[in-house]
Structure 1
Amino acid sequence: MRLDFLRPLTDSDGPFATVVLDATHDTADATEQYRLRWRDLRERLVDAGAEEPVLDLLDDAVTGAAAPDGTAGRVLVADRDRILLDRHTEIPPERGTAGWGALPDLLPVLSAVGEQVRTVVVAVDNTGGEVRSVDGWVEGVSSDSTGPVHKAGTAGPGEGGADARVEETWKRNAQAVAERVEKAVRGGNAGLLVVVGDAPARARLRDELPPASAEVMVEIENTGGTLPAQVDDTVRAAADDRREQRRIGSVTSYATASGRGEGLAVTGLAGVVAATRAHAVETLLVDRADAPGTALWLAADPTAVAESRDELAQIGAEPTVSAPAADALVRAAAAVDADVVLTGPGDDVALTDGLGAVLRFPIGPVA
């Protein structure tokens, strides 16, 4: 999971309020229910010692936002000065959470937000297609060809040549769509390309796409040449599949690195802390069910973490606060552009202390 969206949190000294709540709006009394859910979470923040300026910021954010359509969740993180993170999610949380502390409560945030899969959607037919970019813009595309797009219903003298001209028009239209799709995929840094249309039109588009775009292409059977709203559920399902593929790939990479003995994987709190301080972590793995409850000491630099004040002082860092290890390590990963993977019972991987990491380079004796 990419952590770009957490980067603003690494520049604040805190303390932080973290809220994950159900923002579903699908009944007549949804607005009132939403306010009641927020009131309950707000009371939890008050009991935890949250400061009034932070509560005021959250009040304004919760009551001032437009209500989403249907089921949704919402994730907010605030410090004394501003809202640092405010995201609606497609799936509401099973239960709302509210935390106040030296660091944001990041495991609920990661579980709620999930990894973003930037997606381009294209609907193709014989006449061209429509391309929806990662930003939601929809553009109709066809070639400049004025050739016919329909074959004759019955074969007759000379119809073979006419059919060839039709097929050439189809090809040119597919080339035009492919060119626009490639720009949308590259320009939007898309990790998923969903193609809607009948099988021949999809095949023509695939043949015209560069390999990098073809590799992220997922096909949906649909005979229409537009972007019908009903494909959105299928697009979400494709994004979920891609997200899970990436997660499993990261877990597999960790298992492979662990088995090679080259020092490119560590597990356990001490090993991951040392790798974090060395800026060596490429992917941090955290077992959601077994995340360590141990507190780490932190300095101003998010990667300056240690199991004790003395250990932090030994590396020349001034201890400032302590915070749960999982939150501290996820925040440090965001600061050095590392990935995070949340593991679960179904993953065939053992993590000491609920922690592991794939490294950019070996550290310690192996190095």
Structure 2
Amino acid sequence: MKLQFLGPLYAHPGPVASVCLDTSRDQDDPDRAIDLRWHKLRRTLLAHEADEATVGALDAAVGTDREVAGRHGRALFAAHGSLVLAERLPDPPDRDSARYGMLPDALPLALQRGPDIPYAAVAIRRVHLAEAAGGEEELQLDFETGRWPMSRVAPGAHVHRRIPVDGWPEEAERLLAELVAAVSAAGIELVVLAGDPWSVNSLVRSAPKKLLGNFVKLKDGRYRRPEPGRALMEEELGLLFEGRLSDHDRHQLDAYLGQHARHPEYVEGLAATVAAFQRGQARTLILNRPVRMSRHLWVGAAPTQLALSGEDLSAFGLNYYWEEPAPGAALIRAAAGTQAELIAVPEDVLPLEDGVAVLLRYTVPE
């Protein structure tokens, strides 16, 4: 998963206020519940010497996602009196958190965006019109693209069309052209189909060969209609994508396993990962889920300035550095700042020393 979306967080120096907040709407009086949780975090920030202007910028951002139904959360970052980044979270955080420090605590946000699978969802309903409308049938098409799981709370482009049944062949041809373009332009990996069996089957039969490998038909074609602000076929997509990585990330993991087979000491563990970022040699940061890193790192102003001790940074000639109590914040800054990517894998699938590893850009050092 690429990390360009984190760029605004590192465009200005800290300190930064970082907030992860449950903003779910599936409860009685959600606005009051969110307000109570936020004010607890607000007091935490002020107790840790966050300035009033920065906390005020967060005040204005809390509650601006009321249009999203169901369970979800928010990640908010502010510095020097201004909101720097505000993102929706597909799931509420395990616990609300607020931190004020030199580095933004961006790892929880980054982890929630994975596995970042580009897809398209196509749902076709057959509707019987009322007698006043002629009593005939029509097809209602919903077509949506997105990147899972962020599309759950930030759906992509959505198209809704109503088509006479006898006009479906022409509409299917048009839809197939749009899908081919989406696969080419956005790297769509899966096209998930649901709804009226006749329409879905005829669409598949008419598809070009290069598109057939992308199709997945939902069992029995049934799907739940989405709530406001949620992805089309959200529940069904969740089952389909559970435990899945993007094709891009699977290829990178294969490359990591090849490097690990030859030189494990250069790619696995916290020391190897820090050394790779110091050299700007990390192509991808690989983390175990759940993240259990507890060892502090030492960091300087630049993304590549991180080490296991202050003495190491001093040996590099740095005069300004500090002990960073959140190692994940230091590692995700190093990854974003060196254009590295992020992959999170369950610990029981690929256990890593210290819960961390790295895919190198180039050959291992001599």
Counterpart residue identity of residue 54, structure 1: T
Cα distance between partner residues in 2 of 1:353 and 1:221: 41
**Counterpart in the other structure of 2:54:** 54
Question: What SS is found at the alignment partner of 2:98?
Answer: strand
1:246 is aligned with what amino acid? L
Structure 1 288/170 Cα, relative in aligned 2: closer, same or farther at 3 Å? closer
Equivalent-residue separation in structure 1 for 2:320 and 2:211 (angstroms):
48
1:322 offset after TM fit, Å?
3.1
What does the per-residue CA deviation read over 1:80-104, in whole Å, with 9 as the maximum and x for residues that have no partner?
2422221222322232111121212
Equivalent-residue separation in structure 1 for 2:117 and 2:157 (angstroms) = 13
Write out per-residue CA displacement over residues 110-133 of structure 1, whole angstroms, 9 at most, x where no aligned residue.
344444444322235897954334
Aligned residues: 340
CA contact (8 A) 1:15 1:79 kept: yes
Deviation, 1:40, is 1.1
Q: Does the 8 A contact of 2:18 with 2:105 survive in 1?
A: yes
After the TM superposition, list the runs of 4 or more consecutive aligned residues in structure 1 that deviate by more than 6 angstroms: 125-128
Alignment of 1:196-345 (within 5 A): 196-199=194-197, 201-209=199-207, 213-220=211-218, 228-229=225-226, 234-238=233-237, 241-242=240-241, 244-246=243-245, 249=250, 252-253=253-254, 256-261=257-262, 266-289=267-290, 291-315=292-316, 319-323=320-324, 324-345=326-347
Distance 1:28 1:350, change over 3 A: closer
Structure 2 residue corresponding to 1:131, chosen from 143, 163, 167 = 143
Q: Distance in 1 between matches of 2:26 and 2:256?
A: 43
Name the residue aligned to 2:19. Answer: 19
Q: Which residue of 2 aligns with 1:193?
A: 191
Partner of 1:75: 75
Displacement, 1:280? 2.1
Do the aligned partners of 1:284 and 1:341 also contact (CA within 8 Å) in 2? yes
Match of 1:176 among 164, 170, 174: 174
- One-letter amino acid of the structure 1 residue matched with residue 280 of structure 2: H
Instruction: Tell me if 1:358 matches 2:356.
Output: no
CA contact (8 A) 1:281 1:360 kept: yes
Q: For each residue in 1:290-315, what CA deviation from the matched residue of structure 2 results, as whole angstroms up to 9, or x when unmatched? A: 64323333233212322234433544
Structure-1 separation of matches of 2:337 and 2:243 = 24
Distance 1:209 1:49, change over 3 A: farther
Which segment is superposed worse, 106-115 or 2-11? Answer: 106-115
**In structure 1, C-alpha distance between the alignment counterparts of 2:238 and 2:188, rounded to whole Å:** 11
Q: 1:41 to 1:268 in 2, by over 3 A?
A: same
Q: Indicate the residue corresponding to 2:149 in structure 1.
A: none
Q: Does the CA-based 8 Å contact 2:256-2:359 persist in structure 1?
A: no
State the distance in 1 between where 2:168 and 2:62 align.
Answer: 51
Change (3 A) 1:268 1:28: closer
RMSD: 3.6
Aligned partner letter, 1:339: E
Amino acid at match of 2:192: V
Shift of 1:252: 4.9
Q: In the alignment, is the contact (CA less than 8 A) between 1:122 and 1:227 conserved in 2?
A: no
In structure 1, the partner of 2:133 is none
1:316 CA drift (Å): 5.3
Larger Rg: 1
- Letter of the 1:30 counterpart: P
Matched-pair identity in %:
26
Residue 34 of structure 1 and its aligned partner are, at CA, apart by 1.0
Residue 355 of structure 1: how far off its partner (Å): 1.4
**CA 1:216–1:357 in structure 2 vs 1: closer, same or farther (change >3 Å)?**
farther
Structure 1, residues 143-201: CA drift from partner, whole Å, max 9, x if none?
Answer: xxx9x94xxxxxxxxxxxxxxxxxxx866553322002222444444344222234454
With the length of structure 1 as denominator, give the TM-score of the two structures.
Answer: 0.77
Gap change, CA 1:18 and 1:237, over 3 Å in 2: farther
Residue 134 of structure 2 corresponds to none
Q: Secondary structure at the match of 1:267?
A: coil
Please, which runs of 5 or more residues in structure 2 have no aligned partner?
127-137, 147-155
Q: Deviations over 1:209-259 (max 9, x none)?
A: 4566444432225679x9954895744542564363217837852662255
- Aligned letter for 1:330? I
